[in-house]
Amino acid sequence: MATYAVGDIQGCYAPLLCLLEEVEFDKRRDQLWLVGDLVNRGPQSLEVLRLLKSMGNSVKIVLGNHDLHLLAVAWGVRKAKPKDTFDAILAAADKDELLAWLREQPLFYRDKKLGYAMVHAGIPPGWSLAKVEKRAHEVEQVLQSRQIAEFLDAMYGDEPARWDKHLRGMKRLRVITNYLTRMRFCTADGTLDLDDKTGKESTREGFQPWFDHRNPLLDEHRILFGHWAALEGQVTGKNLFALDTGCVWGGKLTMMRLEDGRYFYCKCS
């Protein structure tokens, strides 16, 4: 039995198959972890969703910003953007089953036995894993409720830019979602800069990559994340694993075996 974590797929079905074949993945004994952004921009988002859904309990997923955007388009609260590649999903006969499965996925996943936690974008300074789990669950509950359309409409926006425990309602859910699915740069107090999508050097004073701020959590726990292709998998800190290596942009799809830290790669066209 082995556990494999894979970076942002974004509809790149062929490289995913390539990795699964390379490690001889067997859903009867192995587990596959996905750091989010399963869909969009790539050519075969429908095939990716169908494959992962068919793998049942052998798959563990956290939602990314593109996955949430698909749900917003499907629920009719947002129009698809020119570069979105959702058409095949939205026209599929099994659309409802796929979307129902997607909205049931968490924003944070942790396996205490393996000693790894997984999130799409990151964890803000000052949050413990227990707080991440609790706050992610707030969003998950709404995604799985009758309030889903209201939330999907309200989640867009960059404000509030910082967490406040007194936040309530959709503003509270929006900032939690932005931390877990969109964050790259922030200040030491967790103020977000959601405009800068470059590499590790911020153009704004006081802003750094979220993982460069002092947070005891990062010394004690191993964190898998995606979202930030410009990092090219390179991060500081022995417990940090950046798995988005820009497959959809012509880079490569990265897989890591958690038991021994070995990496596997497949090139993307």
Three-point CA angle 130, 168, 227, nearest 5°: 55
Q: What is the pLDDT of residue 200?
A: 77
Amino acid at residue number 45:
S
Q: Taking phi first (over 0 means left), then psi (-120 to 50 degrees means alpha), and beta for anything else, what does residue 128 get?
A: beta
Split at pLDDT 50, 70, 90, the class of 4 is very high
Q: What is the pLDDT of residue 199?
A: 79
- What CATH number does domain 3-267 carry, 3.30.43.10, 3.60.21.10, 3.40.50.150, 3.50.50.60? 3.60.21.10
- Mean pLDDT for 105-119 is 96
What pTM was estimated for this model as a whole?
A: 0.97
Percent of the chain with pLDDT over 90: 91
- Mean pLDDT for 52-65 is 98
The tens digit of pLDDT for each residue in 185-244 reads 999 999 999 998 887 777 788 899 999 998 888 888 999 999 999 999 998 778 999 999
Q: Where are the beta strands (DSSP E) in the chain?
A: 3-6, 31-34, 59-61, 108-111, 116-119, 185-186, 192-193, 208-209, 222-225, 240-242, 252-257, 262-267
- Mean pLDDT for 74-103 is 97
What are the beta bridge partners of residue 252? Answer: 267
- Mean pLDDT for 61-77 is 98
The SS3 call for residue 178 is helix
The tens digit of pLDDT for each residue in 154-197 reads 999 999 999 999 999 999 999 999 999 999 999 999 999 999 88
Q: What is the pLDDT of residue 167?
A: 97
Q: What is the pLDDT of residue 118?
A: 98
